Amino acid sequence: MKTIYIHIGPPKTGSTSIQDSIFYSNKELDFLYPETGRINFTQKIEWINHEGLYRIEKVATNQHYTIWLALMGFLITPKPDDIISTLVKEIEKTEHNKILLSCESFWYLNNEQIEGFLSLFKSYKIKIIYYERELSSQIPSTYIQTIKYGYKKTFKEYYLENLDYFLSLSNQVRKWESTKYFSTIVTLNFDESVGNNSLVNDFHQAIGSQSTNSSTKTANPRLPNHISQIILFLNNLNTKFSSPVILRIISYIRNKIVWSHKTQKLLKPLSYLITTPIISNSDRCELKHLIKSKTIK
């Protein structure tokens, strides 16, 4: 009987590193990591949620993101039913006895969505795998990740807004246990694996694979605190202007900083803001202070 391993994250527990270790593996995989659901450079993806319509193309991702979009009911192009049926056929045809699906957003599926997802594999053995992380490191790391995507509030505000969610993380796991499609839960210790520099190896061992990539490089590293504070400043600066031109300038500088973690590469775009009259004197002084201090507020 085939075994379906469903890796559900959660966010900020090394999912991208695990996915990249599979994609860039220097060994032939001894399990199926389906092509279906992963975005490649030739695809055009459209989806809609409560924030609006999104389109992406000429982008690639190693996680099964479009499967999650289809399960959530967000996906427009390609059609959700086409993605799901293609996935099922790919799994049926494989000669591998182990299949891995990985997307940290699976973590957010509700009971009904989980039930529908697992029903696709009712004739297989199902194992749910996730990394458990100490809240003392997970909460700050997740906060910095939200800043990266535009969050504007302080850590204290984020903590108070999301504490109930973090304290109920075990309930998210129980959703996968309570389905009528029996599934085994495989729990890995993130902090222990990181301490042993074995996060990727431990994951591969948990699914009984020998296809470990020799690389252990962190694929989605946490932003340094002083850089995250500069991004937070720019997130809030965006709310002070209505001019599309100025907003585009700030957005361009912000994106340059988000995707470049080396301080020297940040100085040029930040210097432009400091030396032009776009922002107020008080904002200019605050930005100078953030650049010099390299400390979190």
**Using one digit for the tens of pLDDT, what is the confidence trace for 172-184?**
899 998 888 877 9
Peptide bond into 10 cis (omega under 30): yes
Q: Report pLDDT for 260.
A: 67
Q: Is the pLDDT of residue 214 over 80?
A: no
Checking if the pLDDT of 203 tops 70, the result is: yes
Q: Are 261 and 224 in contact (CB under 8 A)?
A: yes
Determine the average pLDDT of the residues in 150-163: 94
Q: Is the pLDDT of residue 213 over 70?
A: no
Going by pLDDT thresholds of 50, 70 and 90, the confidence category of residue 138 is: very high
pLDDT exceeds 90 at position 199: yes
Residue 147: per-residue pLDDT: 93
Segment 129-145 shows an average pLDDT of 94
- The residue type of 31 is F
pLDDT at 297: 40
**Structural contact between residues 34 and 193, judged by C-beta atoms closer than 8 angstroms:** no
* Confidence class for position 94, pLDDT limits 50, 70, 90: very high
Structure token pair of residue 23: 């994609």
Strands of the 75-77 sheet, one edge to the other: 52-57, 44-49, 75-77
| 49 vs 218, residue with greater confidence | 49
Q: What is the mean pLDDT of the chain?
A: 88
Helices 155-167 + 135-148 axis angle, to 10:
120
Strands 125-132 and 3-7 come out as parallel
What's the pLDDT band for 52 if we cut at 50, 70, 90? Answer: confident
- pLDDT, one tens digit per residue, over 230-279 is 899 999 998 898 888 888 888 888 888 877 655 556 677 788 888 888 88
Can you tell me the mean pLDDT for 70-82? 94
More confident position, 265 or 145: 145
pLDDT, position 164: 92
pLDDT at residue number 153: 95
- Residue whose token pair is 């694996």: 193
Q: Which of 97, 119, 117, 121 is nearest to 107 (CA)?
A: 117
Map the chain to HEC letters.
CCEEEEECCCCCCCHHHHHHHHHCCCCCCCCECCCCCCCCCCCEEEEEECCEEEEEECCCCCCCHHHHHHHHCCEEECCHHHHHHHHHHHHHHCCCCEEEEECHHHHHCCHHHHHHHHHCCCCCEEEEEEEECCHHHHHHHHHHHHHHCCCCCCHHHHHHHHHHHHHCHHHHHHHHHCCCCCEEEEEEEHHHHHHCCCHHHHHHHHCCCCCCCCCCCCCCCCCCHHHHHHHHHHHHHHHHCCCHHHHHHHHHHHHHHHCCCCHHHHHHHHHHHHHCCCCCHHHHHHHHHHHHHCCCC
**The pLDDT value given to residue 242:** 86
Return the CATH fold of 3-137+170-206. Answer: Rossmann fold (3.40.50)
Q: Looking at residue 265, what is its pLDDT? A: 62
Which pLDDT tens digit goes with each residue over 19-32? 998 988 767 899 99
Measured N-to-C along each axis, helices 225-237 and 263-275 cross at an angle, to the nearest 10 degrees, of 30
